[in-house]
Amino acid sequence: MLDIENMVPVEADPPYVPHKKPYRTYCPRCQIVTTTVTHRKCGLLNLLLFILCLFLPCFFVFCFWCKCFKDIEHQCPECKTPVGRRDRI
């Protein structure tokens, strides 16, 4: 796929990164080296815990509110392009 405005290839899925905290990396869209910004998002682990909560309702609170179960997405602070993702599963 190609971004028509900037003529830069757009990546479908950001690659896996082992970092939980922001790190320095190259942004392919801005073409600069920058420190990422992290955002937590619900992923496969949250879905599996939700299904488990259907059988054990006492754990429902942890499913979506606890940060430790969420995936971490790293974005470029300039253009907000995802440059990496740390999946919990």
Q: How far apart are CA 88 and CA 44, in angstroms?
A: 8
β-pairing, 82-86 vs 24-27, is unpaired
Hey, which residues does 2 pair with through a beta bridge?
Answer: 9
- DSSP E strand stretches across the chain: 2-3, 8-9, 24-27, 32-35, 37-41, 71-75, 82-86
| Tokens (6 digits) for 35 | 């420190």
In tens, the pLDDT along 43-53 reads 888 888 888 87
Indicate whether 24 pLDDT > 80: yes
Q: How far apart are CA 72 and CA 55, in angstroms?
A: 27
Phi, psi of 10, deg, nearest 5: -105, 125
pTM score of the predicted model: 0.72
In tens, the pLDDT along 64-89 reads 677 777 889 999 999 998 998 888 77
In tens, the pLDDT along 2-21 reads 555 655 555 567 777 887 89
Q: How far apart are CA 14 and CA 63, in angstroms?
A: 24
